Structure 1
Amino acid sequence: MPRPRSQQISITDTPYYHIVSRCVRRTFLCGQDQVTGKSYEHRRQWIEDRIRLLASLFAVDIAAYAVMSNHYHVVVKLDPAQAEPWSDDEVLRRWSCLFKGPLLVQRYLAGDPQESYELAQVAEFTQCYRQRLADLSWFMKCLNEPIARQANQEDGCTGHFWEARFKSQALRTEAALLSCMAYVDLNPLRAGIADTPENSEHTSIKERITPRFDLAQAVREQMQMDALLRFDGPVKPLLHFEGALVREAQTGIPFAFEDYLALVDFTGRAIDPRKKGAIAHTLPPILQRLGFTPDQWLDQSTRFEALYRERRRSVA
């Protein structure tokens, strides 16, 4: 018997979780329907954009993701401590990007004068929203519901689009985290729709190697499915790699990015009889395929966030 979600998610046990959402019906989330010949490929970008935008609003970090034809994977790190220093106005601003909220909150954000009892009520709403912005279930609600509405509208039908709310798996060890991330990043390769990890579209590993997230375009696309989304803040990079263990508490993935790439490359070359694809053994190692020397890659990987911000400013 399935356990309640509150018993499955425990920050004290682990902040890392593997999430899977799968489509119901025969409908495709993305890709090509072999029966009708209709392409749903554009929906893949819907998911990728919304994952990145929501991570920038919530106290949730994205370690890995892959958007497939009828399901998607996300590896998240829950970090409620991120929401603690947010001011009340910041919390309300973030929440109002997704929901209108009560009239009292709307009036407060508009700068209208309010009585003391009204301000007290706004403060209660703010505390509630602060907790929700650190909650995985609310993150997934804000991810899946708009996608389902938009897809149903496009398909001209009603009813459930997702098979269930979502499936979650706790990643309690570093080995579990790394193996799950590699599994997620290699999904397109195993499905036979990509020949190498760096060429697998709509995956976190490609985004890490060649950051290309276009904030302005993403907001325009998402506003078509959610008119309340008024995102104007900085986009949050994917959860960073921190390298070897140190004495201080780590905020990122306790592994070097270069080592992770080698791990993914090694895993991708292993032939799984249950899957279609694998990296050809005749291909050179991944750093050679990317055209990097070890020193160049070290510079790239250690300055990822700075390079990401520079790229974002260039497309803003």
Structure 2
Amino acid sequence: MPRTSRTIVPNFPHHIVQRGHNRQTVFASDADFQHYLDDLRTVSQALEVKVYAFCLMTNHVHLLLDPGAHPDQLAKLMKTLAGRMTRYRNKLEGRSGTLWEGRFKSSPVQIDSYLLECCRYIDLNPVRAGMTAHAKQYPWSSYPYRTAESAQNWLAPLPGTKHWGTGPTRQKRYADFVAEGVSPERYDQIHTAIQRNQLTGTQKFVDEIARIIGKRLEQRGPGRPRKNIEAGSD
């Protein structure tokens, strides 16, 4: 099956997945995770790319990013992050060569209906992978930032959640939302969209994006199930 080309749309969030080359381990220690996370914070702020959610797994990353009016900033961000992490690991290991797959996967996400669903999907990735029993037990995702008061919280505010209140009330609302889990239907839709660089949203969203970019993006249903891989299958 031919691979769908990647599309970046201005002023929309994008679910991003980038994997280690040949599924190799990218993060072998807490220091590795922290190095990437520090770079994600500083580079996203420098490029004015909003970060809504993230999860750093052993051999891949999930990110939910909005490039704003300049879609090229998203590819620039991913290139910078990949390059910095590659140089960091190569220096540690006294080696040379690639660390990541050549291309990251990207799925533009409908804001009003699917942004929160993608945040929940991303924060629950360690639970689905059997690494933790609860999202709060995993330190390398956006979940702790959304559910605890912290001066270090640099994530962008989530659209459509003003009615959640502020402070502890807002944090509990997000925790309760994640605890509800992702329905099998939503899981299949989000998973298929990111694997195929397709849109994550309704038919109305497909029509809207077609008007914005001047072409219609093909939407295909789920294909053959993929085998589980280390640190999660998605």
Matches of 1:136 and 1:161 in 2, distance apart? 19
1:181 has 2:116 as partner: no
**Bigger RCO of structures 1 and 2 (CA < 8 A, at least 6 apart):** 2
The equivalent position to 2:155 in structure 1, one of 238, 256, 260, is: 238
Matches of 2:161 and 2:78 in 1, distance apart? 31
Matches of 2:160 and 2:117 in 1, distance apart? 16
Percent identity over paired residues: 27
Instruction: Report the TM-score, using the length of structure 1 for normalisation.
Output: 0.50
Match of 1:194 in 2: 132
Q: Note closer, same or farther for the CA distance 1:212–1:23 as it changes in structure 2 (3 Å cut).
A: farther
Deviation at 1:263, TM superposition (A): 1.8
Match of 1:56 in 2: 45
Matches of 2:171 and 2:147 in 1, distance apart? 10
Match of 1:262 in 2: 176
Contact 2:126-2:138 within 8 A present in 1 as well: yes
Contact 1:30-1:43 within 8 A present in 2 as well: yes
User: What SS does the corresponding residue of 1:240 show, helix, strand or coil?
Assistant: coil
1:43 has 2:32 as partner: yes
Q: Note closer, same or farther for the CA distance 1:66–1:150 as it changes in structure 2 (3 Å cut).
A: same
Contact 2:146-2:174 within 8 A present in 1 as well: no
Deviation at 1:261, TM superposition (A): 2.4
* 1:206-285 → structure 2 map (5 Å cutoff): 206-210=144-148, 237-241=154-158, 243=160, 258-267=172-181
User: What SS does the corresponding residue of 1:76 show, helix, strand or coil?
Assistant: strand
Cα shift readout 1:16-72 (whole Å, capped 9, x = no counterpart): 1001110014631124xxxxxxxx332111111111111221121110001110011
Instruction: Report the TM-score, using the length of structure 2 for normalisation.
Output: 0.66
User: What SS does the corresponding residue of 1:20 show, helix, strand or coil?
Assistant: strand
Matches of 1:174 and 1:42 in 2, distance apart? 36
Q: Tell me the amino acid that sits aligned with residue 44 of structure 1.
A: F
Q: Note closer, same or farther for the CA distance 1:43–1:244 as it changes in structure 2 (3 Å cut).
A: closer
Q: Tell me the amino acid that sits aligned with residue 128 of structure 2.
A: R
Q: Tell me the amino acid that sits aligned with residue 131 of structure 2.
A: I
* 1:128-207 → structure 2 map (5 Å cutoff): 135-207=73-145
Q: What RMSD over aligned residues (CA atoms) do the two structures have, in Å?
A: 2.9
The equivalent position to 2:55 in structure 1, one of 50, 58, 66, is: 66
Contact 2:13-2:67 within 8 A present in 1 as well: yes
Match of 2:192 in 1: none
Matches of 1:213 and 1:23 in 2, distance apart? 31
Q: Rg bigger for which structure?
A: 1
Deviation at 1:184, TM superposition (A): 0.5
Match of 1:28 in 2: 25
Matches of 1:175 and 1:257 in 2, distance apart? 20
Matches of 1:24 and 1:152 in 2, distance apart? 14
Matches of 1:146 and 1:237 in 2, distance apart? 20
Deviation at 1:260, TM superposition (A): 3.2
Q: Note closer, same or farther for the CA distance 1:212–1:188 as it changes in structure 2 (3 Å cut).
A: farther
Q: Tell me the amino acid that sits aligned with residue 144 of structure 1.
A: A
Contact 2:112-2:160 within 8 A present in 1 as well: no
Q: Note closer, same or farther for the CA distance 1:263–1:47 as it changes in structure 2 (3 Å cut).
A: same
Structure 2 unaligned spans of 5+: 164-169, 185-234
Q: Tell me the amino acid that sits aligned with residue 264 of structure 1.
A: V
Contact 1:24-1:160 within 8 A present in 2 as well: yes
Contact 1:17-1:75 within 8 A present in 2 as well: yes
Deviation at 1:165, TM superposition (A): 2.7
User: What SS does the corresponding residue of 2:24 show, helix, strand or coil?
Assistant: coil
